[in-house]
Amino acid sequence: MTEVNPYKMAIKQIDVVAPYLDVDEGILEKLRYPRRELTVHCPVKMDDGSLKVFKGYRVTHNDTRGPAKGGLRYHPSVDLDEVKALAMWMTWKAAVVNIPYGGAKGGVKCNPPEMSQAELEKVTRRFTWEIAPLIGPESDILAPDVYTNPQVMAWIMDTYSMLKGYSVPGVVTGKPLELGGSVGRFEATGKGVLIAVQKVAEHLKLSIKGARVVVQGCGNVGGTSARYFSRAGARVIAISDSKGGLYNSQGLDIERTLDCKSRYKCLMTEKVEAEVISNKDLLELECDILVPAALGNQITAENAPRLKCRLVAEGANGPTEPEADEILVDKGIFVLPDILANAGGVTVSYFEWVQNLQELLWTEEDVSDRLHKIMTTAVADVMKISRERKVPMRTAAYILGVGRVAKATQLRGLYP
């Protein structure tokens, strides 16, 4: 199977919606490129005394509608094209839910499961120091992503604050509550997936209660999504991590399954009633709702014909290859695209940033109500475009997102 280049995939998605947009081609050409891409090398003294150099990236795709915003991921597969694609998708995502952000993304090529906490802290602080001239509450705001968490955000905030000489909580979101984090931020992306699915389920006449749900991934997005689907009355029949998954046709005990993952760092059949299943087979299970919430390029032209679900809700970024998209449309499978389905995270990140800048504290009820309103409005907007233009939801989401950024670019003009 040929590996799909995520940046080329992101460019192709712009090309698909270009005919639907009444904007100058020159503006679209500008949007195909990042504003800035930075590569840094971070020397770190490891626990054994050796020195290792880690490569890192921070890409600003666009800041026309507001400060650039995007997560930081730690993973062995991180490369520049992946980070460029993710930064671009963040631009469209913020525009789809109509919050005043542009898009950015960061990554460090490393393998956190094989590193100590002390080594991770050193990598984080050195990376922050190297990108410090570019980041800040008014310019570029970081957030957790793959293998990063509130603790990593705390190290970034502290390092940046030491440089400035005063505390700057707004340089990151997804922080611990004790450092200005927002209630509801950790579960925001997973909760947003459920809110989006509930909205389109009305259109599909699909009842969430009793629906069979398959979730690929059990981290922040996958695990939280599974919890919320289970609490809404759905049957989560399968869930996985990077090593494989668990399957029970009658439904898994999700709380027990995720508690086991937290305690033992793996999914274990000894702790829950289930059989082992591979990630490959998990995607092809017969179900009502499939939630790919791991890494990108999971649904391909090779496996798409074998999917047996009614709805795909993309919790991960870029989980479906363009060729697979066409197959899913032909099969009549409804796809909730990533830039809409997983936009709950950036939405509550925005809430956290606003609270930091204004030195406010919102209640969990405030955050939940605002998230629900923004997500349901965005889903309704995209569905309206989908119906009126007679296009799939992904195309409709890009018409909305790219269109908003293109219009803002046209209004601001080109400097000088």
Is the Cα dihedral 319, 321, 326, 331 positive or negative? negative
The rounded distance, in Å, linking the Cα atoms of 238 and 224 is 14
Domain boundary among 341, 368, 386: 341
Decide: 191 and 344 in contact? Cβ < 8 Å.
yes
pLDDT tens string 4-25: 789 998 999 999 999 999 999 9
- Across 263-285, average pLDDT: 80
pLDDT tens string 362-386: 999 999 999 999 999 999 999 999 9
Structural domain includes residue 384 = no
Q: Are residues 165 and 220 in the same domain?
A: no
Q: Are residues 292 and 263 in the same domain?
A: yes
Structural domain includes residue 308 = yes
Evaluate if residue 298 carries a pLDDT over 80.
yes
Q: 52 an active-site residue?
A: no
Of the pLDDT bands very low, low, confident and very high (cuts 50, 70, 90), residue 257 is: confident
Structural domain includes residue 180 = no
pLDDT tens string 189-220: 999 999 999 999 999 999 999 999 999 998 88
Q: Are residues 159 and 201 in the same domain?
A: no
> Counting every residue, how long is the chain?
416
**Other CB atoms within 10 A of residue 46 CB:** 14
The enclosing domain of 219 has a CATH number of 3.40.50.720
Structural domain includes residue 21 = no
Candidates 93, 105, 199, 261; catalytic one:
105
- Give the predicted TM-score (pTM) of the model: 0.93
Domain boundary among 341, 358, 383: 341
Evaluate if residue 269 carries a pLDDT over 70.
no
Evaluate if residue 1 carries a pLDDT over 60.
no
Q: Please identify which residue in the block is written with the tokens 């609490």.
A: 231
Q: Are residues 166 and 71 in the same domain?
A: yes
Distances (CA, A) of 206 to 229, 314, 334, 386, 392: 13, 17, 12, 19, 18
Q: Are residues 209 and 258 in the same domain?
A: yes
- Across 281-309, average pLDDT: 94
Position 271 scores a pLDDT of 63
- Across 231-241, average pLDDT: 94
Structural domain includes residue 263 = yes
Evaluate if residue 322 carries a pLDDT over 90.
no
Q: Are residues 302 and 327 in the same domain?
A: yes
Q: Are residues 299 and 213 in the same domain?
A: yes
pLDDT tens string 52-73: 999 999 999 999 999 999 999 9
pLDDT tens string 119-169: 999 999 999 999 999 999 999 999 999 899 999 999 999 999 999 999 999
Q: Are residues 159 and 242 in the same domain?
A: no
The rounded distance, in Å, linking the Cα atoms of 208 and 225 is 13
Q: Are residues 166 and 197 in the same domain?
A: no
| 296 or 114, greater pLDDT | 114
Structural domain includes residue 267 = yes
Evaluate if residue 31 carries a pLDDT over 60.
yes
Range of the domain at 104: 6-13+34-171
The enclosing domain of 56 has a CATH number of 3.40.50.10860
Structural domain includes residue 352 = no
Of the pLDDT bands very low, low, confident and very high (cuts 50, 70, 90), residue 305 is: very high
Long-range CB pairs of 125-129, under 8 A, 24+ apart, other chains included: 125/155, 125/156, 125/158, 125/159, 126/42, 126/43, 126/44, 126/54, 127/40, 127/42, 127/54, 127/56, 128/155, 128/156, 128/159, 128/160, 129/159, 129/163
pLDDT tens string 342-361: 999 999 999 999 999 999 99
Of the pLDDT bands very low, low, confident and very high (cuts 50, 70, 90), residue 297 is: confident
Structural domain includes residue 239 = yes
Position 2 scores a pLDDT of 59
Q: Are residues 337 and 197 in the same domain?
A: yes
Both structure tokens of 279: 């990630």
Position 167 scores a pLDDT of 97
Tally of structural domains, the chain: 2
Alpha-helical regions (H) of 233-313: 254-264, 279-283
Domain boundary among 323, 341, 359: 341
Average pLDDT of every residue of the chain: 94
Of the pLDDT bands very low, low, confident and very high (cuts 50, 70, 90), residue 107 is: very high
Position 265 scores a pLDDT of 67
Q: Are residues 288 and 161 in the same domain?
A: no
Q: Are residues 292 and 206 in the same domain?
A: yes
